[in-house]
Amino acid sequence: MSKLWSGRFAQSGAQLLDEFNASLPFDKKLYEEDIRGSIAHATMLAKQGILTQEEAEEIAKGLMQIKQEIEEGLFEFSIAHEDIHMAVESRLITLIGEAGKRLHTARSRNDQVALDFRLYVQKQTLVIVNVLESLIDVLMQIAKEHTNTLLPGMTHLQHAQPINFAFHLLAYVSMFKRDIERLESSHKRNNILPLGCAALAGTPHNIDREYVAKLLGFDGVSVNCLDTVSDRDFALEILFNISTIMMHVSRFAEELILWSSYEFKFITLSDEYSTGSSIMPQKKNPDVPELLRGKTGRVNGNLISLLTVLKGLPLAYNKDMQEDKEGVFDSVETVFISLNILKEAIRTMSINHERMRQACEVGHLSATDLADYLVQKCNIPFREAHFITGRAVAHAESLGIDLSKLSVEELQKVDARIGEDVLEVLSLVHSMNARTSQGGTATSSTCKQIELLEAWIQSR
């Protein structure tokens, strides 16, 4: 098959070269963007008098037929065509002849691929936002039911202070909210048309880039052609955004794994989203969150991989850049399935309130409350109150009980200034509800956070 660029070659290339050089096996995913971009380009060329109206119409009709052929599985993909751009263009020429040969006027594959890939990334960015929104909905629903469900808040994976389960879930909602904001900011920044830059230096043809931008839904036109054809920042941004989402997913997954162990037993994953062992009949394994944690590694790999491909490239387009697509496709697919399955796994899990509450009864979770009590009621400086409380904890340990279970008499052995009213302060529910500061864990503060987050959701 002779290549569209074969004019200056005396001999045809080797089969091995075709295999190595081709991006068609993966960039055929961009057929829709390629056809949309070409129709917009042809429409503009006709408006500018570079093509006739009839030629542009023939081109659009031919391209729509090609789209249909691809969607019906009738299109013959051959790696001899190298990439989706040349596969579509060759087919167009076969279908409509002369007019098809005029389509590539004032265009290069360099700005064409920059356009197609950007259109894909922009579209997927908004789809990821939608998927995050539905995950947030599920988290909010569960949160609303658990504003009073005690659970040990941890630092260093050690019991720290009692919190409620809704408060814990809202921490994840806050992360996913930032992820949405990051995606939307990327979308806004990158909504700029690359087409019309041609190979690197622009074109002598009298094109109208603003018009093409409007046809394709872009907010503006790129400023500098040399930058535009070698810019893959938009691809790096979606990779980074996905890595950050997956880092959040992975932290949540890690907690789900811990929480479903015998030692914690805070949650039970549904049978629907758990797996068994091929040898140990009793096992119910958290494969879903484990895979979520594992897949985070591969999306990080995709980000580092593209950063590395780009880091030494001179301006402008270099073939290295063909390596930009597979990682992005992979990360996009990975984040979709990951967010969807995380949503289902948490929607169907059961929450063992009783185990969460029991866990709060070990680890002296109300120790900070005793120190705060000594500060507020006895006017003791915090550092000293901290020390006294430490001794009370040591005393409770020596008796083999939790601080919250010490009697007033025992507490007074540690410090005579402690009064009867300390008992209420040491209760776990009291401890949680004492933290009423903005963003704190008290049920009242947690409910305010729910309101704020719901207002944000509704404002969208």
Cβ of residue 239: shortest distance to ligand ARG, in angstroms? 16
| Residue 277 annotated as catalytic | yes
Which is nearer to ligand ARG, 192 or 316 (by Cβ)?
316
> How far is C-alpha 272 from the geometric centre of its chain's CA atoms?
24
- Residue from 36, 67, 81, 109 touching ligand ARG (CB under 6 A): that is 109
Choose among 292, 212, 287: nearest CA to 251. Answer: 292
**Candidate list 12, 261, 277, 407, residue with the active-site label:** 277
* 284/22 Cα distance (integer angstroms): 45
* 318/336 Cα distance (integer angstroms): 30
Choose among 144, 158, 222: nearest CA to 190. Answer: 222
Q: How many residues bind ligand ARG (CB under 6 A)?
A: 10
| Residue 134 annotated as catalytic | no
Q: For the window 322-361, what string marks contact with ligand ARG as x by the rule CB under 6 A?
A: x---------------------------------------
Residue 424: strand, helix, or coil: helix
Using the contact rule CB under 6 A, the part of the chain among 90-98, 157-165, 318-326, 372-380 near ligand ARG is 318-326
Binding flag, residue 67, ligand ARG (CB under 6 A): no
Window 12-31: residues binding ligand ARG (CB under 6 A) = 23, 27
C-beta separation of 53 from 47 below 8 A: no
Which is nearer to ligand ARG, 109 or 168 (by Cβ)?
109
* 138/346 Cα distance (integer angstroms): 8
Binding flag, residue 317, ligand ARG (CB under 6 A): yes
Binding flag, residue 83, ligand ARG (CB under 6 A): yes
* 432/449 Cα distance (integer angstroms): 15
Burial of 425 (0-12, 13-18, 19+ CB in 10 A): buried
Using the contact rule CB under 6 A, the part of the chain among 53-61, 107-115, 271-279, 426-434 near ligand ARG is 107-115
- Residue from 56, 88, 113, 453 touching ligand ARG (CB under 6 A): that is 113
C-beta separation of 235 from 119 below 8 A: no
Cβ of residue 109: shortest distance to ligand ARG, in angstroms? 4
Which is nearer to ligand ARG, 311 or 319 (by Cβ)?
319
CB-based burial, 129-153: b 16+ in 10 Å, e otherwise: bebbeebbebbbebbeebbebbbbb
Q: Could you give the residue ranges of the DSSP H alpha helices within 97-208?
A: 98-102, 109-145, 165-189
Which is nearer to ligand ARG, 110 or 300 (by Cβ)?
110
Cβ of residue 306: shortest distance to ligand ARG, in angstroms? 13
Binding flag, residue 110, ligand ARG (CB under 6 A): yes
- Residue from 321, 346, 365, 442 touching ligand ARG (CB under 6 A): that is 321
Residues assigned a catalytic role = 156, 277
Residues lying near ligand ARG in the complex (CB under 6 A): 23, 27, 83, 109-110, 113, 317, 319, 321-322
